[in-house]
Amino acid sequence: MIIAKFLHILGFTVWVGGMFFAHNALRPTAATVLEPPQRLTLLAGVFSKFFTWVWVSVALILGSGLYMMALMGKPPLYVTLMFVLGIIMMLIFAHIFFAPYRRLLRAVATQEWKAGGAAMATIRKLVGINLILGLVTIVIGTLGPLLR
């Protein structure tokens, strides 16, 4: 169980921490100091690296979470809530990866900066939603056992 908890914590730390950094530090700074061609090229490159780590994180979180839930038998309400929020986050990420991120990559490759900006705006909104869900999930996981 300790290894599963470690992998779970590692996975959500990488994912949520990366979203916090990208959403609240990287993108706003890039938006103020770089023109669209440089900004969108930078963000597409950053996402290509970060999204690989998100896929690894999703696998770690889902695998370790399901394993720990199986050991619990009937999980408490806070664990079920974390599971539901985690699945929603994973679905939002999959949508980001397969739709607006792909549009961003195409726009950068063809130098269609307006389309790239629109794709980036969608990514930013969805990452913002996922960041909030991730932070709420962490709070539930931390405080849930105290409320039992």
Per-residue model confidence (pLDDT) at position 16: 98
Region label for 73, one of left (φ > 0), alpha (ψ between -120 and 50) or beta (otherwise): left
Q: What are the residue boundaries of the structural domains of the chain, listed by start?
A: 2-147
pTM for the full predicted model: 0.95
Per-residue model confidence (pLDDT) at position 147: 85
Per-residue model confidence (pLDDT) at position 148: 72
Structure tokens that stand for 12 in this block: 């959500």
Distances, alpha carbon 73 to alpha carbons 68, 69, 70, 76, 129, in Å: 9, 7, 6, 9, 31
Per-residue pLDDT of the chain (148 residues; tens, 9 = 90+): 999 999 999 999 999 999 999 999 999 999 999 999 999 999 999 999 999 999 999 999 999 999 999 999 999 999 999 999 999 999 999 999 999 999 999 999 999 999 999 999 999 999 999 999 999 999 999 999 998 7
